[in-house]
Structure formats: C-alpha cells, structure tokens
Amino acid sequence: MPHLVENLANLTTHKDRDELEIALVLTIKDLLAPLTIAICRIVGERDDERWFTCTFLGPGERVPKIDSAWNNRDILPRLSDHPLRQQAFDTQQVIRQISSPNITVFPLSRSFEMRSVLEVHTEGPLAEESIKLVTGVLRLYSNFQNLLDYGERDTLTELLNRKTFDGAFMKATIEQNKASDLEQNDRRDASGAGRYWLAMIDIDHFKRVNDTYGHLIGDEVLLLLARLMRTCFRFHDQLYRFGGEEFVVLMRCKNEVDAGHALERLRKNTENHLFPQVGHITISIGFSEVRTGDTPSGAFERADKAVYHAKASGRNRVCSHAALVVEGILVEQATNMGDVELF
C-alpha cells in the first residue's frame, strides 16, 4: 500500500500530458503486473473515427512507449476493429473478455479532446478488487486531467491557451530537429509527416461585430469559429486561442502547399458559414514554417508579418511568409532569422 500511495503522489506531480500518461501506465503495471497496457484514443472525423494508441507498455518492457502522433490516420484501426474498446467507451463501463490473454478495458475520458480507454492484457482474469482499485486510480487520473484542462484551456472556446504554447513549441522544434537528423542519415520518418508550421488567424472587423451586436454575440462568434477549426484540422494539430479574436495553429504538414490547403479550407468554411445574427464573417491568416533552432518569438514574428499583409491587402486571405519573401513583398534580414520588413 505505501508503494501505491507513492505512485499516486508521483502521478499528480506531472503537468505534461505525455509524462502523466507514462506515470499512469507505470502505476497500473505495479498494481497488476499485466502482459501489456495501452492507452488508446479515438481520433478522426465522426464518419471515419480510428483508434490511436498513444501510450503502450509491452511484455518485459520497463518504460512505456509514446507513439508518434504523426502517423497516417488511414493506417490506424477503425473503431469497429476493436469492439471491446468501443463498448467500454460507449457504455463508460469496464468490459472484460475471458480469453488468452484476458482483456480488460477501462473507460478513461469522454471529453471532446480526449476520448480514450485503457486496455490491459493479463494472464488470468482480474479480480473484482483489482478492478475496483484500478477504477479508483483512473478516477484520480481523470480528476487531475480536468485540473490540467482548467489551467491549459481557454474557458470560452476550450482551445488551448497562450501559456501552454511555449512548451509545445519547444517540444515541436526538438522533434523536428531529430527528424532532420534522421533524414540526413537516410532514415526517413515512415509517417512522411513533414515539418511544423505556425499559423496566426485573425477575425476581420471583429470590433465591428462587438460594437454592433454586443459582446455576447461576439463570444458566440469566437466559440463557433473554434468549432470550425476543430473540423478543419487533424487530430494531432494543436489549436490555440491567444485572446480576443486571435487564434493560433501549430500543425505538421509535408510541405507549404499542404499547410496552405489546410488553412485555405478553414478560410473558405468560415466565409461560407452563417453565424447567428451576424451573418457571414471572414478571417485573415498568415503562416510560416518552424525552422531548425527557431524560437516562439521568431516564428510568431514571421506569421504576424504575413497576417498583417493579408489584412492590409484586402483581408479574407491566406498568406505564406515564405511566398511573400519570394515575391519581394517581405524581405528577410540576414542579421535576425525572424526579422522581416514590409515594403
């Protein structure tokens, strides 16, 4: 029991979600000594949802693996391929299958961002006491996750908030640098995911919306735009509200063309959407590739210059920083990677 208390105490010290999942898996490992443990998340569109195994501990392994979130979604198994997982999630009940090995699936979360289950394979069936103990640990885990959500998410839109960005950006640059090293050694990432891109999204004439319809309607516009963003980007893209009418996307695409297509899809969907009382609104978007050794301020400055040009040249546009440099509209200053000047 003292060892369990120590594990639970360690579980609640983590503020990074990957580390929190690893701590949870290690706690379950100590409790059950299972063959395998997996945390599996539902990802994808409503008509094409898949199972993504985000954390896995195999037989004889001491450290759980955090699977790359940049796998091609099409190769992930469909929900129907794992009926026990689907049943556990849909019913929010523990589902067991007596077989070899024995499979027990625990529901983890039904939130929009984290729809997941914990799947445990054991040599023999789990005792009722063990199931109750694991269920209690998962309740603690879920409560702590909710506390993280409260601190990391914008209260209106439920997108990530500004204070979580720097850590995510630094993790992205580290991962991107590792991928670049592998490519140089001809060991390319099998997922073909490409590089990171930072996009800034600004609602055109949003002050006019607030002045004309009031801040309650303005808040509804922000909430609906956040929902449109969720439908336009992939499960591993990170969506932020930075305050006011400013939104940010940190995404991974193969190249500038793919990044531009994703952002253009959001622009068109926003333009075509009918917002209650307000009618139609538009957005301006600027984006830039995240470079090796980049800093958040450097990437932001490039994306900000691009979105400034989009607004200055008519609004309702998607502008790439790199393309504007090639066109001679923006000029890079060799003394500072992030500095550009607008003619």
Listed in sequence order, the residues at least 6 apart from 279 whose beta carbon sits closer than 8 Å to its beta carbon are none
Which residue blocks in 45-164 are alpha helix, DSSP H?
83-91, 128-152
CA 56 to CA 337: how far, in whole Å? 39
**How many residues does this entry show for the chain?**
343
Tokens (6 digits) for 21: 């999942």
Collapsed DSSP state (helix, strand, coil) of residue 94: coil
Contact (Cβ atoms closer than 8 angstroms) between residue 329 and residue 323:
no
Listed in sequence order, the residues at least 6 apart from 149 whose beta carbon sits closer than 8 Å to its beta carbon are 111, 113
For residue 18, the one-letter residue type is: D
Name the residues annotated as catalytic: 245
**Nearest to residue 94, comparing CAs of 120, 112, 72?**
120
| DSSP bridge pairs for 119 | 38, 105
Collapsed DSSP state (helix, strand, coil) of residue 154: coil
Contact (Cβ atoms closer than 8 angstroms) between residue 287 and residue 263:
yes
